[in-house]
A and B are shown apart, each in its own frame.
Chain A
Amino acid sequence: MKWEIERSILHGVAVAAMVAVGSSFVPGTAQAWEPTKTVEFIVPAGTGGGADQMARMLQGVIQKNKLMSQPLVVINKSGGAGAEGFLDVKNSKGNPHKIIITLSNLFTTPLATGVPFSWEDMTPVAMLALDEFVLWVNASSDYKTAADYVNAIKAGNDNEFKMGGTGSKQEDQIITAALEQTTGKKLTYIPFKGGGDVAAQLVGNHINSSVNNPIEGVSHYRAGALRPLCVFDSQPMPYKDELVNGESWSSIPTCKQAGLDVEYLMLRGIFMPPGVTDEQVAYYVDVFKKVRETQEWKDFMNKGAFNTTFMTGDEFKSWLAKAAETHKDLMTKAGFLAK
């Protein structure tokens, strides 16, 4: 009798196990693959920056809503302006348990430092969002519109105006270089540690302007210390919530409208190592699609006034190819290529 019970229990366990194994194959055809161990989420930047925040946000959302069966751990590999992280992914051929979030250094670091990697060395998964850039000046300055500021630069001497930004030969400096090419005057670009520092330097009048992301400037904007002049996008931001005095993100004109023909958006995308299968990529695409549906993510996008374009597959690849071309062009003209 006892033997019988034990056998039936064993049998039950076996059935349950088979059901469990079987069920993971059932839903959807694209869902055939699932991670079998902890997935490493590489951040090619230090702790506390924009990419790091987004990665930890994603980690939190995925964990809270149980969107992945295995844990996701964030690992910062910031050495050499992110080169360390990208090289790690590039060299992990065929490893489906590793993903990386990008910022502009995907394009800029290999050009500026000569470290050999490019987006084509990795497998593109999805574009999560694009970071907007806004031209800011101190609210006590005389520049009410982008045109005012551009005219002042044109009328002034070379290096008279100081632009603050984060990092060197990365997104902020590229925009500055584009600004120089449009105005025909040199600007003094001063690199600081982080976006918050840049905004504070602008409030303290140590620099004349910055190209901070919306989220980095918004609190000073609302407190009446900074003034946004224009956004470096093809159309105004869609967010209509009032920020201050009836103004919202959507009321900031594009730089093009203001006579400054510069467009720049920063990629927040996910990549995998080279040599992974289509099913593996499809799994992560699916996870991030689900992330986009969550309220937490929507709130985060709203707070940061992100451009929420989502792309995968070939569409994403052709976007990347174009973006790489633009970066190369801008950086060559600005003389930022590695010696």
Chain B
Amino acid sequence: MTHVTPGSESGNEHTVSTRVMELVVSAGFIAVSILVMWDSRRIGASWASDGPEAGYFPFYIALIMFLSSAVTFVSNIVTRAPDRSNFVQRSQLALVLRVLIPTAVFVVLIGYLGIYLSSALFIAFFMWWLGKYPVYKVIPVAVAVPLITFMMFEIWFLVPLPKGPIEAALGY
């Protein structure tokens, strides 16, 4: 259907057109709405004698979502003046990914190392890689923030946060 060749327009700055993103997002909405309608039908989506069943509202909510997203989807296909502008410039995307990828790695690491150690690593990496700070400035921040958090949550408020092998070795 809409086949966009990357780089067809403004040279190597081009990533993906706004129109394609519009189509992708509205298709996502449509997919979610179909899923919701399907599950709502399963648990009963009609109006029983004593009011709506459990799936009644989700079903019609999803129906409205389906219809409104379908309008967005179709209007982006049939429009005479498609929005071919760039959704995000390549350099911008690179910047966004420079935050997003380390954050994703950080989130995954929490599961293995616990939140304190992974926070320290994350902050250190971020400051060193993006901020180009010297090590003697990176270390204090990277150590102090998790330490303060630890004091506040584990000791003061008694709120357990995810912990890893290091904390376990220290008896927490």
Contacts and interface: CB of A to CB of B under 8 A. Distances in A.
Direct contact of A and B (CB under 8 A): yes
Interface of A: 36-38, 40, 71, 73, 75, 159, 188, 339
B129 interface: no
A188 B160 contact: no
B50 A37 contact: no
Given A38-B160, A73-B159, A159 B50 contact: yes
Nearest to B159: A73
B158 interface: yes
Contact of A38 (B43, B50, B172): B172
Contacts of B158: 38, 71, 73
A152 to B, nearest CB: 21
A36 B171 contact: yes
B151 to A, nearest CB: 14
Interface in B125-156: none
Contacts of B160: 38, 40, 73, 75
B2 to A, nearest CB: 40
B54 to A, nearest CB: 10
Contacts, number: 15
Given A37-B171, A38-B158, A73-B158, 10 more contacts: A36-B171, A38-B160, A38-B172, A71-B158, A73-B159, A73-B160, A75-B160, A159-B50, A188-B50, A339-B43
Interface in B50-84: 50
Contacts of B171: 36-37
Nearest to A75: B160
Nearest to B168: A37
A61 B96 CA distance: 51
Contacts of B43: 339
Nearest to A59: B158
Given A159-B50, A188-B50, A339-B43, A37 B172 contact: yes
Closest CB pairs A-B (n = 10):
A73-B158, A71-B158, A73-B160, A37-B171, A37-B172, A38-B160, A40-B160, A188-B50, A36-B171, A75-B160
Chain A interface mostly? loop
Contacts of B50: 159, 188
A68 B52 CA distance: 50
A339 B160 CA distance: 37
A339 B50 CA distance: 19
Contacts of A75: 160
15 contacts: A36-B171, A37-B171, A37-B172, A38-B158, A38-B160, A38-B172, A40-B160, A71-B158, A73-B158, A73-B159, A73-B160, A75-B160, A159-B50, A188-B50, A339-B43
A41 to B, nearest CB: 11
A59 B171 CA distance: 21
A38 B172 CA distance: 7
A288 to B, nearest CB: 20
Contacts of B159: 73
Interface in B64-112: none
Nearest to A73: B158
A71 B158 CA distance: 8
B65 to A, nearest CB: 24
Nearest to A186: B50
Interface string B5-28: 000000000000000000000000
Contacts of A73: 158-160
Contacts of A40: 160
A71 B157 CA distance: 11
A40 B154 CA distance: 12
A36 B170 CA distance: 11
Contacts of A339: 43
A75 B160 CA distance: 9
Contacts of A37: 171-172
Contacts of A159: 50
A36 B158 CA distance: 16
A73 B153 CA distance: 12
A40 B43 CA distance: 35
